Amino acid sequence: MSDISLGEAARGLGVSVDTLRRWDAAGKLRTVRDERNRRRVPAEEIERLSGHIERHRTGDALSARNRFPGVVRSVEVDGVMALVEIEAGPHRITAAITRDAVDELGLAEGVEATAAVKATSVMIERGGR
Protein backbone atom coordinates (compact mmCIF):
# COMPACT_ATOMS: atom_id res chain seq x y z
CA MET A 1 0.00 0.00 0.00
CA SER A 2 1.26 3.46 -0.80
CA ASP A 3 1.35 6.70 1.12
CA ILE A 4 -0.95 9.57 0.12
CA SER A 5 -0.77 13.31 0.64
CA LEU A 6 -2.35 14.98 3.63
CA GLY A 7 -4.88 16.67 1.33
CA GLU A 8 -5.91 13.37 -0.24
CA ALA A 9 -6.19 11.77 3.18
CA ALA A 10 -8.32 14.66 4.46
CA ARG A 11 -10.69 14.38 1.49
CA GLY A 12 -10.91 10.62 1.90
CA LEU A 13 -11.77 10.90 5.59
CA GLY A 14 -14.03 13.94 5.26
CA VAL A 15 -11.98 16.09 7.64
CA SER A 16 -9.72 19.11 7.21
CA VAL A 17 -5.97 19.05 6.65
CA ASP A 18 -5.64 21.02 9.91
CA THR A 19 -7.50 18.24 11.73
CA LEU A 20 -5.03 15.68 10.36
CA ARG A 21 -2.09 17.85 11.44
CA ARG A 22 -3.54 18.05 14.97
CA TRP A 23 -4.13 14.29 15.05
CA ASP A 24 -0.54 13.75 13.92
CA ALA A 25 0.81 16.03 16.66
CA ALA A 26 -1.37 14.27 19.25
CA GLY A 27 -0.30 10.79 18.12
CA LYS A 28 -3.79 9.85 16.86
CA LEU A 29 -2.55 9.55 13.27
CA ARG A 30 0.65 7.96 12.04
CA THR A 31 2.32 9.87 9.23
CA VAL A 32 5.63 9.51 7.43
CA ARG A 33 7.79 12.14 5.76
CA ASP A 34 8.84 12.04 2.13
CA GLU A 35 12.20 13.15 0.71
CA ARG A 36 10.94 16.78 0.68
CA ASN A 37 9.85 16.50 4.34
CA ARG A 38 6.13 16.58 3.48
CA ARG A 39 3.73 14.57 5.60
CA ARG A 40 2.33 11.48 3.91
CA VAL A 41 -0.36 9.20 5.29
CA PRO A 42 -0.04 5.44 4.88
CA ALA A 43 -3.11 3.93 3.21
CA GLU A 44 -3.57 1.57 6.17
CA GLU A 45 -4.06 4.62 8.42
CA ILE A 46 -6.94 5.78 6.21
CA GLU A 47 -8.51 2.34 6.46
CA ARG A 48 -8.03 2.30 10.25
CA LEU A 49 -9.56 5.74 10.75
CA SER A 50 -12.37 5.51 8.21
CA GLY A 51 -14.36 3.18 10.46
CA HIS A 52 -14.16 5.64 13.36
CA ILE A 53 -15.30 8.83 11.68
CA GLU A 54 -19.00 9.68 11.60
CA ARG A 55 -19.95 10.94 8.17
CA HIS A 56 -22.61 13.45 7.22
CA ARG A 57 -25.51 11.15 6.31
CA THR A 58 -28.14 13.45 4.86
CA GLY A 59 -26.36 13.98 1.55
CA ASP A 60 -26.73 17.75 1.88
CA ALA A 61 -23.63 19.89 1.59
CA LEU A 62 -22.61 21.54 4.85
CA SER A 63 -19.33 23.33 5.36
CA ALA A 64 -19.00 22.65 9.10
CA ARG A 65 -16.29 20.09 9.79
CA ASN A 66 -16.72 19.65 13.54
CA ARG A 67 -19.56 17.17 13.98
CA PHE A 68 -20.76 15.68 17.23
CA PRO A 69 -23.20 12.81 16.61
CA GLY A 70 -25.21 11.90 19.66
CA VAL A 71 -28.63 11.71 21.27
CA VAL A 72 -30.97 14.55 22.19
CA ARG A 73 -31.18 14.73 25.99
CA SER A 74 -33.52 17.71 26.30
CA VAL A 75 -35.56 20.17 24.26
CA GLU A 76 -36.80 23.34 25.97
CA VAL A 77 -39.15 25.42 23.82
CA ASP A 78 -39.96 28.99 24.81
CA GLY A 79 -41.87 31.08 22.30
CA VAL A 80 -40.18 31.01 18.90
CA MET A 81 -36.85 29.70 20.23
CA ALA A 82 -35.68 26.41 21.71
CA LEU A 83 -32.65 25.03 23.52
CA VAL A 84 -31.60 21.56 22.38
CA GLU A 85 -29.04 19.60 24.40
CA ILE A 86 -27.21 16.72 22.70
CA GLU A 87 -25.09 14.15 24.50
CA ALA A 88 -22.28 13.29 22.10
CA GLY A 89 -19.91 10.84 23.77
CA PRO A 90 -18.26 12.70 26.63
CA HIS A 91 -19.60 16.04 25.33
CA ARG A 92 -22.84 17.86 26.08
CA ILE A 93 -23.66 20.48 23.46
CA THR A 94 -26.52 22.95 23.74
CA ALA A 95 -27.80 24.80 20.70
CA ALA A 96 -30.26 27.70 20.56
CA ILE A 97 -32.39 27.08 17.46
CA THR A 98 -35.87 28.09 16.31
CA ARG A 99 -38.98 26.27 17.38
CA ASP A 100 -39.69 25.66 13.68
CA ALA A 101 -36.33 23.87 13.32
CA VAL A 102 -37.19 21.61 16.27
CA ASP A 103 -40.51 20.76 14.63
CA GLU A 104 -39.06 20.28 11.12
CA LEU A 105 -36.29 17.98 12.40
CA GLY A 106 -38.61 16.12 14.76
CA LEU A 107 -36.22 16.69 17.66
CA ALA A 108 -37.26 15.18 20.97
CA GLU A 109 -35.56 13.45 23.88
CA GLY A 110 -33.92 10.21 22.74
CA VAL A 111 -33.71 11.11 19.03
CA GLU A 112 -30.35 10.71 17.30
CA ALA A 113 -28.96 14.05 16.08
CA THR A 114 -25.67 15.64 15.18
CA ALA A 115 -24.43 19.02 16.39
CA ALA A 116 -22.39 20.63 13.61
CA VAL A 117 -20.18 23.36 15.05
CA LYS A 118 -18.84 26.15 12.85
CA ALA A 119 -17.26 29.21 14.48
CA THR A 120 -19.67 30.27 17.23
CA SER A 121 -22.75 28.68 15.68
CA VAL A 122 -24.17 25.27 16.50
CA MET A 123 -26.44 23.70 13.90
CA ILE A 124 -28.54 20.57 14.49
CA GLU A 125 -29.34 17.81 12.04
CA ARG A 126 -31.50 14.82 12.77
CA GLY A 127 -29.67 11.46 12.71
CA GLY A 128 -30.72 8.02 11.65
CA ARG A 129 -32.56 8.97 8.46
pLDDT tens digits for range 104-114: 889 999 999 98
Q: How far is CA 74 from the centre of its chain?
A: 21
Identify whether 30 is part of a domain. Answer: yes
Q: What are phi and psi of 25, to 5 degrees?
A: -65, -35
Structural domains counted in the chain: 2
Identify whether 61 is part of a domain. Answer: no
SS3 90: coil
Q: Domain with 26 in it: what CATH number? A: 1.10.1660.10
Identify whether 56 is part of a domain. Answer: no
Identify whether 60 is part of a domain. Answer: no
Domain that holds residue 34: 3-50
Q: Any residues with CB less than 8 A from the CB of 58 and at least 6 apart, and which?
A: 125, 129
Q: pTM, whole model, 2 decimals?
A: 0.47
pLDDT in tens, 38-66: 989 998 888 888 766 554 444 455 555 67
Residues 71 and 22 in one domain: no
